[in-house]
DNA sequence: AACTGTATTAAACACTTGTTTAATCACAAC
DNA sequence: GTTGTGATTAAACAAGTGTTTAATACAGTT
């Protein structure tokens, strides 16, 4: 029976080497388009090794996604807050955390690409990802929103505010390549760095949140007039 | 030489039938994972027909993307405004237009899936898409933002506001499947219908825009304090 | 009826895919 | 030294890929 390499630094063993070489390739080309032969060539192992260590290609993919999440959490740790931390500061920190960990401006680590693939086209692996990672992440954001609004919002409303904040951030990951076609290349480098973007999204979101601080905006949308 | 079917209703001819059957399959599985044999089987044509009519698989794909855009514009026409239309109403109409045409809540027409693929992983076809479709679309939004803010913003700032609005909308397309894993299935059906979402995004964005109506927030982010 | 150019077809081609097999290697235990 | 066990290998396998070819069918024209 092949070894499982739990709690070991990948890269030392043959199994770990496969994992670390497979990750970037899966991230770049997706599960289907990636060939086991390319992975094995990169890792300098025989084509049979993948089936020997992981059973099949699918289980290897699953393991790379799990590893990607673990590495990303370690690479970009959460900010440490205490009871006195200002909610506005918390929001800015949180936006910065998303941009750093999941958007990764300019650069694009393979771990990020892989996780984005799971958001866009979830496989079985994504359920694991949501429960272990995204849900606690989102709950943290909802807590900050509650503090900033100052009173209890209906859950769907609070969720939508959360999605508005996350959506602004993730735009720069999902639409990055198209955005580069849309605006001046030089502007993109100069004006869309991490701090600049975090500042804008924070400012814009604080404004959006203010709309929900007054109770009058909480009524449901009664007969919105839209054409067609 | 095979016919080109310009200005013809697809579906009548063999060529048109291939195009209409290829679209949904490319949308569902992507270019690479789609096989010409599956397309030909669906369209009840011989495997050689694709090469006969389109040259190769790639050119067929390009034509399906162009067709998808044309159909989507026709299916969801732009609202008609005049000089007296309120900018706030314009913004709501525009948000509704994005949600209808590009996000398509609940349902997911193959044309939308195909266009999203081009945003996420642009091929050569995307350049054509940006110039013919996305750029004028985005310019319209920027015009509305200008009207609402009331004074001239630096272009990168105005663009970022535009991206904040579009980002909130596209979130519900890109992260739709993951969001369904995150929140109650029933809530998603009840609380995230098109009008409800348009209302929230409109309200939230109006708040965000107000932050830029006062000139004081226009200074660059000077030394934002973020951990790590 | 013969010709012409387009449309369609079955079959073959050359190549890549994930997986399996059986042989070989390395190395510790006895 | 022999044995045994896990690691690694080259080779083969079976299925699927996009594309090409050469033959055939079918109109419309002369």
A49 CB inside 7 Å of strand D: yes
Q: What is the pLDDT of residue A225?
A: 43
CB contact under 8 A, A163 and B159: no
Residue with tokens 């735009």: A171
Query: Diameter of chain A by CA atoms?
Result: 66
Q: How far apart are CA B13 and CA A222, in angstroms?
A: 47
**Quick check: B51 and B69 in contact, CB under 8 A?**
no
Q: What is the pLDDT of residue A16?
A: 93
Convert the pLDDT of each residue in A65-79 to its tens digit.
999 999 999 999 999
This model's pTM is above 0.95: no
Is A216's pLDDT higher than 80? no
**Quick check: A116 and A174 in contact, CB under 8 A?**
yes
Say what angle helices B87-98 and B135-149 make with each other, to 10 degrees: 150
Cα of A135 to nearest chain B Cα, Å: 7
Is A18's pLDDT higher than 80? yes
Mean pLDDT of chain B: 90
Q: What is the CB-side half-sphere exposure of residue B130 using CA atoms within 13 A?
A: 17
Average pLDDT over residues B142-168: 96
CB contact under 8 A, A77 and B228: yes
Convert the pLDDT of each residue in A141-160 to its tens digit.
999 999 999 999 999 999 99
pLDDT bin (cut points 50, 70, 90) of residue B219 is low
Nearest CB neighbour to A207, from listed B89, B156, B211: B211
Cα of A182 to nearest chain B Cα, Å: 7
B180-187 CB contacts, 8 Å cutoff, 24+ apart: B181/A122, B181/A126, B181/A127, B181/A130, B182/A130, B182/A134, B182/A135, B182/A138, B183/A159, B187/A155, B187/A156, B187/A159
Is B224's pLDDT higher than 50? no
DSSP one-letter code for B11: T
Cα of B74 to nearest chain A Cα, Å: 12
Q: What percent of the residues of chain B are helix, what percent strand, and what percent coil, each to the nearest 5? A: 75, 0, 25
Mean pLDDT of chain A: 90
Convert the pLDDT of each residue in B29-71 to its tens digit.
999 999 999 999 999 999 999 999 999 999 999 999 999 999 9
DSSP state letters, B39-64: HHHHHT--THHHHHHHSSHHHHHHHH
**Quick check: A50 and A42 in contact, CB under 8 A?**
no
Helices (H), A175-193: 176-182, 185-191
User: Residue B208 is encoded by which pair of tokens?
Assistant: 């965000």
Produce one character per residue of B162-189: b if its CB has 16 or more CB atoms within 10 Å, e if not: bbbbbbbbbbbbbbbebbebbbeeeebe
Q: What is the CB-side half-sphere exposure of residue A52 using CA atoms within 13 A?
A: 11
**Quick check: A99 and A197 in contact, CB under 8 A?**
yes
Q: How far apart are CA B43 and CA B98, in angstroms?
A: 31
3-state DSSP assignment of residue A35: coil
Residue with tokens 């803010």: B149
Is A224's pLDDT higher than 80? no
Listed in sequence order, the residues at least 6 apart from B166 whose beta carbon sits closer than 8 Å to its beta carbon are: A171, A175, B98, B138, B141
Is B223's pLDDT higher than 80? no
Q: Which residues of A touch B119 (CB under 8 A)?
A: 174-175, 177-178
Is A128's pLDDT higher than 70? yes
Angle at A59 between CA B32 and CA B34, to 5 degrees: 15
Q: How far apart are CA A166 and CA A154, in angstroms?
A: 19
Instruction: Strand C: list positions under 7 Å from protein Cβ.
Output: 6-12, 16-22
Convert the pLDDT of each residue in A94-119 to its tens digit.
999 999 999 999 899 999 999 999 99
pLDDT bin (cut points 50, 70, 90) of residue B227 is very low
Is B1's pLDDT higher than 80? no
Residue with tokens 């084509």: A47
Q: What percent of the residues of chain A are helix, what percent strand, and what percent coil, each to the nearest 5? A: 75, 0, 25
Highest mean pLDDT among A201-205, A210-214, B219-223: A201-205
Q: What is the CA radius of gyration of chain B?
A: 21
Is A39's pLDDT higher than 70? yes
User: Residue A175 is encoded by which pair of tokens?
Assistant: 């639409």
pLDDT bin (cut points 50, 70, 90) of residue A46 is very high
pLDDT bin (cut points 50, 70, 90) of residue A218 is low
Is A11's pLDDT higher than 70? no
The rounded percent of chain B whose pLDDT value lies above 70 is: 89
A77, A78, A182: best to mutate for the B interface, most B CBs within 10 A: A182
Is B186's pLDDT higher than 90? no
Q: What is the pLDDT of residue B44?
A: 94
**Quick check: B125 and B66 in contact, CB under 8 A?**
yes
Cα dihedral sign, B185-B186-B190-B196: negative
User: Residue B45 is encoded by which pair of tokens?
Assistant: 């044509």
3-state DSSP assignment of residue A214: coil
Q: What is the pLDDT of residue A217?
A: 58
Q: What is the pLDDT of residue A190?
A: 83
């Amino acid at each position: 029976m092949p070894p499982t390499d739990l709690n070991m630094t990948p890269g030392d063993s043959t199994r770990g080497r496969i994992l670390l070489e497979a990750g970037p390739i899966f991230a770049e080309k997706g599960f289907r388009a990636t060939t086991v032969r390319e992975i094995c060539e990169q890792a300098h192992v025989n084509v049979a090794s993948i089936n020997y260590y992981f059973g099949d290609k699918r289980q290897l993919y699953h393991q790379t996604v799990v590893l990607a999440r673990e590495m990303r959490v370690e690479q970009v740790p959460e900010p440490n807050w205490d009871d006195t931390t200002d909610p506005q500061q918390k929001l800015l920190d949180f936006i910065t955390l998303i941009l750093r960990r999941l958007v990764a401006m300019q650069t694009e680590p393979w771990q990020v690409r892989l996780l984005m693939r799971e958001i866009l086209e979830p496989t079985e692996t994504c359920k694991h990802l949501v429960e272990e990672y995204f849900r606690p992440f989102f709950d943290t954001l909802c807590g900050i929103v509650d503090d900033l609004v100052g009173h209890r919002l209906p859950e769907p409303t609070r969720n939508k505010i959360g999605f508005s904040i996350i959506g602004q951030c993730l735009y720069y990951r999902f639409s990055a390549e198209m955005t580069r076609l849309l605006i001046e290349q030089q502007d993109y480098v100069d004006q869309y760095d991490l701090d600049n973007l975090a500042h804008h999204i924070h400012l814009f979101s604080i404004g959006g949140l203010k709309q929900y601080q007054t109770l009058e905006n909480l009524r449901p949308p009664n007969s919105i007039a839209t054409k067609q």
